[in-house]
Amino acid sequence: MAGETVKLTVGQALVRYLINQHTEINGERVQLFAGVFGIFGHGNVTCLSEALEQVQDVLPTWRGQNEQSMALAAIGYGKAKLRRQIMIATTSVGPGATNMVTAAGVAHANRLPLLLISGDTYNNRLPDPVLQQVEHYGEPSTTVNDSFRAVSRYWDRITHPAQILSSLPQAIATMLDPADCGPAFIGLPQDIQEIVYDYPVAFFEPTLWTIPRPRPDRDQVSAAVALLKTAKKPLIISGGGVRYSGAEEALARFAEARGIPMAETIAGKGAVVHDHPAYVGALGIEGTDAAKELAEGADVVIAVGTRLQDFTTGSWTTFARDSQFININAARFDARKHRSLPVVGDALESLNEIDAALGDWRCDAARMEEARVLYANWNQMLDEGQAPTNAAVPSYAQVIAVVNKAARPEDTMVTAAGGLPGETVKNWRVKALNSFDCEFGFSCMGYEIAGAWGHAIAKDGTGVPIVMVGDGSYMMMNSDIYSSVLSGHKMIVVVCDNGGFGVINRLQTGMGVPGFNNLLKDSRVLNKDNPRHVDFAKHAEAMGAYARHCDSLADLEAAMEWAQGTDATTVISINSDAYTWTPGGADWYVGVPEINDRESIREARKGQEAFRAKQRRGV
C-alpha cells in the first residue's frame, strides 16, 4: 500500500477520510463522526453532496430547516455523547454559512466539538463576484467565512487539494483535546471541491482516536494536597469538565469520603443525583442558598472542570477575599484564573492522584453537617414553592415540578437562556447521571428544541429529551419540531408562555427601568391591553407534532402522562407567571447608569455599588 494513490475530488476525499475515523465508547468501536446535518446550496450541493450521497448508509445526512438550528442540533448530540462522538454541519456559501456563526459561538463557549464545513467563493476568482459573495475592496481574499475565526478553535480554508492531508487530522485533534476542545471550521471554495488529486491510499486507512487524559504535574498535586489539608471549611465546585472526563462517580466518592460539600455549575449539573449525601445544589446567581452560604464561608475551594463564569461566582462576590482556590482543569488558561493554585490535567486523573496523596485526611464532620442542614432547608423551601396554589397562572417552579415528576430517569431535560435556566437549575431534581442539559455557556435562545433534536438522535429511543422552553425562545427557533417529526426522533416540548421575555423584564425593572419592549404588553403593539398571543399547540400541530394546551397544573400532569405514551414529538403549552421567581442565589454585576433623574434607577445604582465593593479582585 505504501506509495499507492487514488484519484478523488477534494469533496470525495474529505468524506472518505471522515468515515474512516473511529473512537471507542464504553469499549465499543464506533464512528467518530456519527452523521451530518446539511442544508445544500450552490456552495456545497454539486460536489460535497455528491460525495455524501454515496455514503449515506454509513454517514447519514439529516436535513435541517435552518443552518443555525441544525448546527445547534449537532452540539446537542455532542453533549449527549459527552464529547466522544462528533456531528458535522454543512452549508452553502453566504447566509447559509453565517447562519452558523451563532452555533459556533455556543460550541466555543461551552468547549464542545463540532465540525463545520461551508462552501466558499471561487479560489480562482474568475467568475467574481458570485452569488452571495460579500466583496471586500481592499482584501479580495476575505469572505464571510472569515467571520468564523472569532468563534472557532480551528479554522482553515482549503485552497489546494493536498491541504486536507494535514488540515483534517489537526481539526480532529483539536476537537478531541480536552484542553483545546471546541468547533473546527473548514471552508471549501467551490472550484477546489471539484478538483481531482492523487491522494495517498494510506490517508484513508481506518484510524482509532482516543481522548487523551493528561496527568497533572506532581508538584502541582503536592501543592494542592498541602493546601487542602489546611482547610477547615472547604467546598467543591463540580463543572462540566467533570462530566466530559467521566469523573462523576470519582468526584462524588471523593466528596463523600473526604467530608467536603459539593456544589456544581450549570454545565456540571447532572454529575450527581439530587439526593447525593454530599450535594448542596448549584452555586452562583442561579444557585441554591445552601451553596451560596457555604461558598461565602469557604477557606479552600476546589474547582473541578469549570471556567468559573460569572453566573457561578456571582461576579466574584460569592467568596471571601481571602479564600484560596485549587483549580483542576485540562486547560491551563482556566486552571490559572483568579490567583488559583493550578492543577493542569484531566479531572479523573487529577482527582485520583490528589485522593491518593491525601492519605487519611478528612474534613471535620461539622462541615458536612452544616451543609446537610442548609441543603435540607433549601429543599423544604423548594417543596413549598412547588406546591399548587390558587393563583390564576402557575409559576415556573410549579410547572417544572410537574414535568420533573413525569420525567423518567432515562429522559434528558433540555433548556437554555431566559428564565428557565435559573428555574430548572434550582427546581429540577436530577434522577440519573447526565440527564440534564442547560445551555448557558453562551446563553443561546433557540438552542432548546434544536439541541433536543440532537439529543434525540443520540439517545436513539432510549428515553426522550424533555424540552422546557419559554415563548420567547420558541418564537426564535422552533422549526426542528418539524425536523424531528420528519426524522422520527421523538421529543416532548413544554412551552411556558409568560407573554414575552419575562426574565429580562425582571432584570430591567429590578434595575429601576419601567417595563419596556420585553413583555408583549409593554411592546409597541396594536392593543396593549389584550395583545394577540400565539396558539403554540396549533402551531406545533401544523408542523406534524401532537399538541395540547393546558389550563392548569392538573391538565399539565395529565398531558405529560399522555405525552410519554405518544409515538412522535409532542408539544404541550401552558401559561405561566412572568413575575414569580424562585428565590435564592447570588447577585450579578450589571451596568446601571451613573446619572439618571429616576429615583428607582438611582437606588439600583447604589445597590450595584455596594455589591461591587464585595468583589474578589483577580484575573
- Rounded (to 5) percent helix, strand, coil in the chain: 40, 20, 40
pLDDT at 132: 93
Please compute the mean of the pLDDT values over residues 388-393 and round it to a whole number: 93
**Pair 342, 284 in one domain:** yes
pLDDT band at 531 (very low <50, low <70, confident <90, very high): confident
**Domain edge (last residue) among 208, 236, 270:** 208
Is the residue at 531 inside a domain?
yes
DSSP states along 540-593: HHHTT-EEEEESSHHHHHHHHHHHHT-SS-EEEEEE--SS-----S--------
Under the banding of pLDDT at 50, 70 and 90, the label for residue 530 is confident
pLDDT over threshold 90, residue 526? no
Residue 441: inside a domain: yes
As a whole number of angstroms, the distance between CA 4 and CA 15 comes to 19
Domain contains 603: no
In the prediction, which pLDDT does 164 show? Answer: 98
Clarify whether residues 330 and 416 are in a common domain.
no
What is the percentage of the chain residues whose pLDDT exceeds 90? 96
- 329 with 397, same domain: the answer is no
Report which of 119, 64, 122 is spatially closest to residue 94, judged by C-alpha positions: 119
pLDDT single digits (tens) 317-368? 999 989 999 999 999 999 999 889 999 999 999 999 999 999 999 999 999 9
Which CATH number characterizes residue 145's domain? 3.40.50.970
Q: How many domains does the chain fold into?
A: 3
CATH number for the domain including 330?
Answer: 3.40.50.1220
Is there a domain that residue 106 lies in?
Answer: yes
Q: Is pLDDT of 49 > 80?
A: yes
Give the chain's radius of gyration (CA, Å): 25
Please check whether residues 445 and 372 belong to one and the same domain: no
pLDDT tens digits, 287-310: 999 999 999 999 999 999 999 999
Sheet of 183-189: strand order equals 61-63, 33-38, 86-91, 114-120, 183-189, 154-157
The per-residue pLDDT of the chain, averaged, comes to: 96
- Distance, in Å, from the CA atom of 372 to the CA atom of 290, rounded to the nearest integer, reads 9
Q: Tell whether the model's pLDDT for residue 619 goes beyond 70.
A: no
Per the structure, the complete domain to which residue 520 belongs is given by 387-575
Asked if residues 34 and 85 have their Cβ atoms less than 8 Å apart, the reply is: yes
- The pLDDT, as a whole number, for residue 567 is 97
Same domain, 145 and 233: no
Contact 247, 304 (CB under 8 A): yes
If asked whether residues 442 and 537 sit together in one domain, one would say yes
Residue 1: band (very low, low, confident or very high) from pLDDT cuts 50, 70, 90: low
Query: Among 79, 81, 64, 136, which residue's Cα sits nearest to residue 109?
Result: 79
Three cell numbers written together for 600: 428607582
426 and 562 part of one domain: yes
pLDDT at 617 over 80: no
pLDDT greater at residue 527 or residue 258: 258
The answer on 115 and 234 residing in a single domain is no
Asked, for residue 197, whether it belongs to a domain, the answer is: yes
CA torsion sign, 503 to 504 to 506 to 510? Answer: positive
pTM, 2 dp: 0.97
Does residue 601 belong to any structural domain of this protein?
no
| 418 and 348 fall within a common domain | no
| Together in a domain, 160 and 45 | yes
pLDDT band at 618 (very low <50, low <70, confident <90, very high): low
User: Residue 581 domain-assigned?
Assistant: no
- Alpha-helical (H) ranges within 161-318 are 164-176, 190-193, 218-228, 240-245, 248-258, 289-296, 310-313
Secondary structure class of 120 (helix, strand, coil): strand
CA–CA gap between residue 225 and residue 216 (Å, rounded): 13
Residues 221-234 pLDDT 10s: 999 999 999 999 99
Residue 447: what are its φ and ψ, rounded to 5°?
A: -70, -30
Q: What is the pLDDT of residue 533?
A: 86
pLDDT category at 410 given cuts 50, 70, 90 is very high
Which of 180, 208, 236 is the endpoint of a domain?
Answer: 208
513 part of a folded domain: yes
Of 377, 412, 427, the residue at which a domain comes to its end is: 377
Say how far apart CA 307 and CA 329 lie, in whole Å.
8
Q: What is the pLDDT of residues 459-510, one digit of tens each?
A: 999 999 999 999 999 999 999 999 999 999 999 999 999 999 999 999 999 9
Beta bridge partners of 23: 30
Rounded Cα distance, 196 and 179, in Å: 36
Q: Which pLDDT belongs to residue 134? A: 94
394 shares a domain with 523: yes
**Are 182 and 81 within one domain?**
yes
* Residue 299 DSSP code: S
